[in-house]
């Protein structure tokens, strides 16, 4: 097998993605991610600030029209909800998990005393009855084992009700310039946003650009709402991940998207309950891709939505679109994407910013 070489730009992009993916921050607890993103964006913008909800807003000053580039900082995770007498920790989901992906994973419980390693366990199959073993194990039957002797010991170790929990995973490389890791939804979007800011910092552009790391997307698109209301941009683009149909278990009629075939431009999502991108906004993004000779894919999705759906309905309505990365196994510990797609997506964002004055 011939191994494809990774360019210098992609090495930089991968390094940033690795730092973001390996960092931890569930919805409402995005501090670690915000610090990384803020430190990076300060190199490329005029001002960086954090609003009261926790959104990071980095501004590259300019005139009208203004454009908001949004990528959410939070990842799906858990919270401690109960510690039993034997010291086992029970947890609640924060965000959309598929229970089967959780069993026997290693996790970190983030406490005031530091990160505590634990493992997700359940009743062993050897102890199950035949009918019981055939059933899917649900989260209510799972717990986290931190090696505590009892509940007092667990609290002595540092675990408290409300502590946040994330997966113990590190970004790893796969052949053909692909990577796998946790929270690529949406650390990939943040990486793209920062790379676009880096490229734009070397250009003279007319519009004012807001690079926004939003909070609490996974539990209701919350940060995007408040940030968009405050900024009131002329147009907005949400950068996120989306589901391809290029692997077993997904039919092409349900998703024609493929990894490595370029950025995904949203036409509509969540059967239209999320966003239906206006014709003018869609043409702007498609024309920008074609002018920049950037490969792209179009998406009509029946499930899932992004920050664009929330931003679109703020004030009198803000024209909004979505640009995403095709990512396999979203909302699992082993998400997979292509570095080529990341690089092309950053270039598409740049082209959109350069041409925004012709459309809005």
Q: Where are the domains of the chain?
A: 8-75+182-358, 78-167
pLDDT tens, per residue, the chain with 360 residues: 445 556 788 999 999 999 999 999 999 999 999 999 999 999 999 999 999 999 999 999 999 999 999 999 999 999 999 999 999 999 999 999 998 899 899 999 999 999 999 999 987 666 667 776 677 788 888 999 999 999 999 999 999 999 999 999 999 999 999 999 999 999 999 999 999 999 999 999 999 999 999 999 999 999 999 999 999 999 999 999 999 999 998 888 888 899 999 999 999 999 999 999 999 999 999 999 999 999 999 999 888 899 999 999 999 999 999 999 999 999 999 999 999 999 999 999 999 999 999 999
Upstream peptide bond of 43 is cis (omega within 30 degrees of 0): no
Q: Which of 217, 218, 243 is nearest to 228 (CA)?
A: 217
Separation of alpha carbons 30 and 316, rounded Å: 29
* Number of helices (H), then strands (E), in the chain: 9, 17
Q: Which of 30, 75, 208, 217 is catalytic?
A: 217
Cβ atoms of residues 214 and 69 within 8 Å: no
* DSSP H/E element including 37: helix 31-41
**Pair of tokens at residue 20:** 């973001």
3-state secondary structure of 131: helix
Cβ atoms of residues 239 and 70 within 8 Å: yes
78-167: CATH number: 2.40.30.40
Task: State the alpha helices, DSSP H only, in 42-183.
Answer: 130-133, 151-157
8-75+182-358: CATH number: 3.40.630.10
Query: Residue 217 catalytic?
Result: yes
Q: Which of 60, 46, 167, 59 is nearest to 106 (CA)?
A: 167
Maximal C-alpha separation, the chain: 69
Question: What per-residue string of b and e applies to 96-111 under the rule 16 or more CB within 10 Å gives b?
Answer: eeeeeebbebebbbbe
Separation of alpha carbons 284 and 207, rounded Å: 15
Q: Is there a shared CATH topology between the 8-75+182-358 domain and the 78-167 domain?
A: no
Could you tell me how many residues make up the chain?
360
Q: Which of 85, 73, 87 is nearest to 116 (CA)?
A: 87
pTM over 0.75: yes
């Amino acid at each position: 097998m011939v191994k494809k070489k990774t360019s210098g730009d992609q090495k930089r992009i991968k390094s940033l993605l690795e730092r973001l993916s390996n960092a931890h921050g569930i919805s409402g607890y995005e501090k670690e991610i915000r610090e990384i993103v803020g430190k990076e964006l300060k190199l490329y913008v005029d001002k960086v600030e954090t609003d009261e909800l926790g959104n990071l807003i980095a501004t590259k000053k300019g005139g009208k029209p203004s454009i908001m580039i949004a990528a959410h900082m939070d990842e799906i995770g858990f919270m401690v909800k109960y510690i039993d007498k034997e010291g086992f920790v029970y947890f609640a989901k924060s965000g959309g998990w598929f229970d089967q992906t959780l069993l026997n994973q290693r996790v970190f419980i983030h406490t005031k005393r530091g990160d505590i390693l634990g493992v997700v366990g359940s009743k062993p199959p050897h102890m199950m009855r035949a009918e019981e073993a055939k059933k899917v194990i649900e989260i209510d039957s799972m717990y986290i084992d931190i090696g505590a002797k009892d509940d007092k010991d667990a609290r002595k170790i540092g675990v408290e009700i409300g502590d946040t929990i994330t997966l113990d995973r590190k970004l790893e490389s796969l052949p053909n310039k692909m990577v796998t890791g946790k929270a690529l939804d949406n650390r990939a979007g943040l990486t793209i946003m920062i790379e676009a800011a880096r490229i734009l910092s070397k250009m003279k552009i007319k519009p004012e650009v807001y690079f926004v790391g939003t909070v609490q997307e996974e539990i209701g698109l919350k940060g995007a709402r408040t940030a968009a209301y405050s900024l009131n941009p002329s147009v907005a683009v949400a950068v996120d991940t989306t589901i391809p149909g290029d692997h077993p278990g997904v039919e092409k009629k349900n998703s024609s998207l493929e990894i490595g075939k370029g950025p995904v431009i949203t036409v509509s999502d969540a059967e239209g309950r999320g966003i239906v991108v206006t014709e003018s906004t869609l043409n702007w993004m498609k024309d920008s891709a074609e002018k920049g000779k950037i490969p792209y894919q179009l998406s009509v999705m029946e499930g899932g939505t992004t920050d664009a759906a929330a931003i679109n309905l703020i004030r009198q309505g803000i024209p909004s679109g979505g640009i995403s990365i095709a990512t396999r196994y979203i909302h699992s510990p082993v998400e997979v994407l292509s570095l080529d797609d990341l690089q092309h997506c950053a270039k598409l964002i740049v082209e959109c910013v350069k041409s925004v004055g012709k459309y809005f």
